[in-house]
Structure 1
Amino acid sequence: MKKIFTILVMVFVVQASFAQDFEPKDYLSKEFHAGRREALRQIMPENSVMAVFAYPTRNFSNDVDYLYHQNPDLYYFTGYKEPDAVLFIFKEPQTDNKGNTYRELFFVQKRDPQQESWNGKRLGVEGVKEKLGISMAFNGSDFKDFPIDFSKFKTIIASPPPVGANGTETNKLNGLVASFIKKTNGAPTNGQWHFKLTGQLREIKTPEEVLMLRKAIEISCEGQNEVMKAAHANMSELEIQGLHEFVHKKYGAENVGYGSIIGAGENGCILHYVTNTKTKVGNSLILMDVGAEYHGYTADVTRTIPANGKFTANEKAIYQIVYDAQEAAFKTLKDGSTFSKAGSAANEVIAEGLFKLGIIKDKKDFKKYYTHGLGHHIGLDVHDRANSNTLKTNMVMTIEPGIYIAPNSDCDQKWWGIAVRIEDDLLITPDGYELLSAFAPRSIADVEKKMAMKSALDDFTLPPLKSGKTPK
């Protein structure tokens, strides 16, 4: 039995090594992550330490877990994509009992050939040292006995450690949180410092991060383009979702950055509609809010299209207001301006447009039909961390005005069920902005022109299912 197990492990290791030859080559470098750790040290308060935990795994059903997604902060500082880990970053150099100095410690999950044969190869301590460039790496089981005197630090910075539903540590973290609590002996940890410091760093994108976002955004736009060309009235919302995500995968995006929103007709009035269960979109508008995640960075692009390829007069009227509101917001964007100024510009256009159409009788009532903010930062989170309302060069954000007129609204019935959102991703520059999502059309004329084109997906047909019938 032992011999068979040894052979299986050897086969696994050979296969894993061979597979690595075909892995993407454009991940963020270990130098990038080291630079982010050093940038954090520069802004940490004196005599402080920050703890950053991996996210725990989450159970999907029985012995199946959800696809693992790392804590974006831990990924930002290390590039590590596995659970059961904690990183410590120290403001000042520390000295161990052997006289060695260090400024960071990283405790990670241990190599385990048997577990790896089930769940994939782990980096382990040596992999972290070699591939991530973190020399002070240790097995997670070593943390409980590691000599760290937390009592000497003026500030212990940590976001709330991940815990289970009953307030205790989930068993998927292998005692790291419990050991941390024991070592700090109940000393208060400062979560506000954590969000302040990481927000200050993450709101400004480095050139390497902008490249990741460009790729994610372009992939998302290509998904929008192909669906525009392929869409028709007999499609289901789920089918449209699948076409978007097929294009994402075809271009190498590992995941979506959030649940794909495909809202046909009145479903588009539900801002975070992700069930996508309508079996036929019919001749309604289709609101498609879908963002590809590429190497941890997520786009957020929304287009609203007519299923039959042509907007009705009423749909055009609402769409044009949203388009003009977005254009008005764009004109305010530049280094030193504010997000509030962009929001006010969009609000004014929407209020005026709805008033002129008679949908509202008082311009102050525009929020009945435009119920969310103008946009947000994007990056490692789709609503990425940031501190400032002031726009700064190399921020990347969305501008996403919308109008949603649900059935039974207090207006003429002819407007009921019309929902329009246009969302684009932009890079702030010293003198203005760059429209990163310009790959997908926005105007009425350009959307209709795109929808008249032949899609690469047009010939992608499957035979009908024969469930319940015995094959001949």
Structure 2
Amino acid sequence: MLETLKFRRQKLGGNIKDNSLLIIFSGEAPVRSGDQFYDYTPHRNFYYLTNLDQPKMAYVLRKYNGVMEEYLFIEQVTELEEKWTGKRLSKEEATKKSGIKNVLPIDELRTVLGRWLLNDNFENAYFDFERGSYQHADTVQVLFAKELKRQYPFLHVQNIYHDITALRLIKSEDEITNMRTAIEKTRLGIEALMRNSKPGMYEYQLEAHYDFVIKTEGVKHTSFHTIAAAGANATVLHYDKSTSLCQDGDLILFDLGCEWNYYCSDISRTFPINGKFSDRQREVYEAVLEAQMEIINNVRPGLSMQDLNEFARKRLAEACQKVGLIEKEEDVEKYYYHKIGHYLGLDTHDVGGRGGILQPGMVITIEPGLYIAEEGIGIRIEDDILVTKDGHENLSKDIIKSVDDIENFMKK
């Protein structure tokens, strides 16, 4: 692992100009209410480069006259504070986990940077300016960059985000192993859902069986807020209430996942609350499943995500025609109104956007669905697919999804 981390940081250092600083923070948990905080989760690019997952840290790469030096700034607190809020990493522990030998207190970050900027001829400062949208609040990276620019206006502030994400797109064997584990834990949770499903339960009651199993298996966090959508609720793409009663004869759509060492799974399965598909439910479900399997079989290196989306749209239009929903292909958007998938990794909607060309080592989701509001039927089937040099591997192939397999499993 240390060699992998070293490779990532050296690769990144090769992308920045000489006489430059690279500064990336681990982040902090925001205030929820009063003196309560949201759960902390590390800034993913910081974790990717350091293997460290504690707040109030900074990674600094100093590149000067062609020589690169790495520094880690970590939080250090008093023994009394540790009695209240827990142990912090020691310098030795931080070095052991990250491979970075120069470790200093985070309180000294500004002093050290100030000394370097006054005594040496640094010209650039690189930060990770990840931003989900224009409206998002400024991150700690943005705030610190503004502060540094104000104090040292001669610095050229640069964005390193896209260089890091280009590295993250291709997964190492360790990363894929973590994702396999997350998917296996998810499989166990999904089987618990099917095993305990019955009419008269609320969506959140059934969802609790998933949470119990994955936590029993050592999972700390889900990948995202679970979607548990019964009946017509499943026709709302990002339904998030989980408060409705599951009626006899309903299908329920689950979109869920979990993290293992911060690597995500993202799976969707749809099954009947009472364990038996109606004739119409079976017809629509098998049309979606047939389309999904054909789309997965089309995944290979060199294919663009745009090409995959166009193929999926055409295949879902054929599915709609097959079950009597539409006559013209262009009308498919009434029943299928999202993209076929996204990259998966340290984030559920991982770095890489919606475009790009598939390469070996990438992991994507394939998640076709049909949402028939007038019939109260919403079906989505999602698997996690590794792109290989010869084609692809379905990492979640062991999570059952055929009508017969689902019915036989639930009958038991």
Q: Please give the TM-score of this superposition, normalised by the length of structure 2.
A: 0.90
- The one of 48, 59, 62 equivalent to 1:87 is 59
Whole-angstrom CA distance in 2 between matches of 1:260 and 1:89: 38
Match of 1:456 in 2: none
Match of 1:35 in 2: 7
Whole-angstrom CA distance in 1 between matches of 2:130 and 2:397: 40
Q: Tell me the SS of whatever aligns to 2:205.
A: helix
Unaligned runs of 5+ in 1: 1-28, 95-100, 408-415, 454-472
Q: Per-residue CA shift, 1:357-413, capped at 9, x if unaligned?
A: 332232101112111111111111011112762111111111111111224xxxxxx
Match of 1:451 in 2: 410
Match of 2:157 in 1: 189
Match of 2:28 in 1: 56
Q: Per-residue CA shift, 1:86-130, capped at 9, x if unaligned?
A: 212245577xxxxxx752222221133222222221114343124
Whole-angstrom CA distance in 1 between matches of 2:339 and 2:139: 35
1:322, 1:350 within 8 Å by CA — same for their partners in 2?
yes
- The one of 261, 264, 269 equivalent to 1:303 is 269
Match of 2:356 in 1: 389
CA RMSD of aligned residues (A): 2.6
Offset, 1:287: 0.5
Percent of aligned pairs with the same amino acid: 30
1:237, 1:276 within 8 Å by CA — same for their partners in 2?
yes
- The one of 392, 397, 404 equivalent to 1:433 is 392
Whole-angstrom CA distance in 1 between matches of 2:326 and 2:36: 50
Match of 1:321 in 2: 287
Match of 1:402 in 2: 369
- The one of 72, 76, 79 equivalent to 2:44 is 72
Q: Per-residue CA shift, 1:231-257, capped at 9, x if unaligned?
A: 111222112221112111122112111
Distance 1:269 1:276, change over 3 A: same
Distance 1:261 1:186, change over 3 A: farther
Offset, 1:341: 2.6
Q: How does 1:245-394 map to 2 (within 5 A)?
A: 245-386=211-352, 389-394=356-361
Counterpart AA for 2:393: E
Match of 2:73 in 1: 107
Unaligned runs of 5+ in 2: none
Match of 1:419 in 2: 378
1:158, 1:189 within 8 Å by CA — same for their partners in 2?
yes
Whole-angstrom CA distance in 1 between matches of 2:78 and 2:235: 49
Whole-angstrom CA distance in 1 between matches of 2:197 and 2:295: 30
Distance 1:227 1:169, change over 3 A: closer
Q: Per-residue CA shift, 1:263-311, capped at 9, x if unaligned?
A: 1111112222222111435431110111011111110011001101111
- Higher Cα radius of gyration: 1
Match of 1:206 in 2: 172
2:51, 2:97 within 8 Å by CA — same for their partners in 1?
no
Distance 1:441 1:81, change over 3 A: same
Whole-angstrom CA distance in 2 between matches of 1:184 and 1:86: 19
Whole-angstrom CA distance in 1 between matches of 2:190 and 2:136: 42
Distance 1:103 1:418, change over 3 A: same
Distance 1:161 1:253, change over 3 A: same
Figure out how many residues of one structure are paired with residues of the other and give that number.
404
Q: How does 1:8-47 map to 2 (within 5 A)?
A: 29-47=1-19
Q: Tell me the SS of whatever aligns to 1:398.
A: strand
Deviates more, 1:334-343 or 1:44-53: 44-53
1:376, 1:383 within 8 Å by CA — same for their partners in 2?
yes
Offset, 1:47: 4.7
Distance 1:309 1:74, change over 3 A: same
Distance 1:45 1:281, change over 3 A: farther
1:321, 1:349 within 8 Å by CA — same for their partners in 2?
no
Whole-angstrom CA distance in 1 between matches of 2:306 and 2:29: 38
Offset, 1:159: 2.6
Q: Per-residue CA shift, 1:434-463, capped at 9, x if unaligned?
A: 11101211211112122222xxxxxxxxxx
Distance 1:180 1:136, change over 3 A: farther
